[in-house]
Amino acid sequence: MANQKQLDILKNSIAQNNRCKAWNQWREENPYEKIALQEADLSGMDLQGANLQEANLEGIKLQGANLHKASLFKSLLNKADLSQADLTGARLSAASFRGAILRGAKMSQASLRECDFSASKMAGADFSYCRMIKVNLCRAALNVAIFKNADMTQANLNVADLSSANFEGANLTQANLCAADARGSEWLNANLQEANLQGINLQGAKVHGSNLQGCNLERANLQRASFYQSNLIKANLQGVKAQWGKFPETNFQEANLHEAQFQEAKCQGASFKKACMNKTYFQKALLAKADMRGALILDANLQDADLSNANLGGADLRGANMSLADLTCTAFASDSFGEALHLTVDQLCQTRKIQKIQGIPEDMLRQVTRRCPRLVP
């Protein structure tokens, strides 16, 4: 229960319409008095600039309240209801909001460093330009929330609901998004360097121009997602499901794509230079103009893939399945990587087109011509 004396002082201060000046002065005069306002109902009230730091506000009702630039540093707001509240520019660092309700709350430009929002309900909340370093959002409901240009370095979003959320320009360096549900989310120019996205569901997400260098996407669901011009250098994509995804001009250089599934994916102009693509599935994928120089493509499935104008110089193609693949103008040698390794006549004979193929030894090309004259016009 709330301390009635403290509640009366606060309400009288609110009634004066002076940004809680009387309340803040009382707090300065009583610095050692512990604030206990748990379960109080202050819905819709003007608490702009109020000093509520280190207060016990558990279970408090603040629906639609104005907490613009209020101070709630290290306060307890577990299971509080702040639906539609205005916390713009508020100081909330190290506060605890476990199990709280903040649906539609305005949190832009707030300081939320090391806050605990675990298991809270924040659908549609606006966190634009917030400082959210090391914030705990584990198991939080953040569907349709906005995180534009927020700093979420080392944030914990483990198993969070991020469906249809907007992370445009957000910084999530070394953040934990393991097993999060991010279906239909948007990540335009976001920074996810070295983040843990293991098992994340990014089905249908838009990840355009984002930095995912060195991140862990093992077993993630990228089906129908779009990663246009994103950076996945040295990322771990082992076992990802990326069927029907769009990856044009995406950089997979030195990435691990072991047993990844890219069937019917659009990867035109993408760079797989020195990537590990062993046992990767690329059936019917669009790989035109892709750079695969020096890649390990052992036992990969490239059946019916479009590899026209691709560069496989120095790539290891041991056991790769290229049946019905389009190798029009494909290069199998480059100045810096040399010739493709372990390419066989049998592999070339199973393809659909090899017109203007480049970098193939003359004796091998003659054998292909004798065995499959249909391939060489």
Between CA 223 and CA 229, with CA 228 as vertex, the angle to 5 degrees is 135
Q: What is the pLDDT of residue 373?
A: 83
Both structure tokens of 116: 């605990």
Q: Which of 102, 131, 101, 139 is nearest to 115 (CA)?
A: 131
For the chain, the straight-line distance linking the first and the last C-alpha, in angstroms and rounded, comes to: 88
Q: Name residue 257's amino acid.
A: L
Structure tokens given for 179: 């097993």
Question: How many angstroms separate the Cα of 331 from the Cα of each of 165, 253, 255?
Answer: 42, 18, 21
Q: For position 375, what pLDDT does the model report?
A: 79
Closest CA to 248 of 202, 304, 206, 198: 206
Per-residue pLDDT of the chain (377 residues; tens, 9 = 90+): 899 999 999 999 999 988 899 999 999 999 999 999 999 999 999 999 999 999 999 999 999 999 999 999 999 999 999 999 999 999 999 999 999 999 999 999 999 999 999 999 999 999 999 999 999 999 999 999 999 999 999 999 999 999 999 999 999 999 999 999 999 999 999 999 999 999 999 999 999 999 999 999 999 999 999 999 999 999 999 999 999 999 999 999 999 999 999 999 999 999 999 999 999 999 999 999 999 999 999 999 999 999 999 999 999 999 999 999 999 999 999 989 999 999 999 999 999 999 899 999 989 989 998 998 887 66
Handedness of CA 133, 136, 138, 142 (dihedral sign): negative
Radius of gyration of the chain (CA): 28
Residue 92: which of 124, 121, 153, 50 has the closest Cα? 50
pTM of the model: 0.95
| CA torsion, ordered 240, 124, 116, 202, to nearest 10 deg | 0
Which of 177, 224, 169 shows the shortest CA–CA distance to 197?
A: 177
Q: Are 310 and 330 in contact (CB under 8 A)?
A: yes
In the chain, the amino acid numbered 46 is D
Q: Which domains does the chain have, with CATH numbers?
A: 262-377 (2.160.20.80)
Q: Are 285 and 307 in contact (CB under 8 A)?
A: no
CA 184-186-187 angle, to 5 degrees, is 140
Residue 62: predicted pLDDT: 98
pLDDT value of position 156: 98
Structure tokens at 315: 């790539």
Query: What sign results for the dihedral spanned by CA atoms 98, 102, 103, 108?
Result: negative
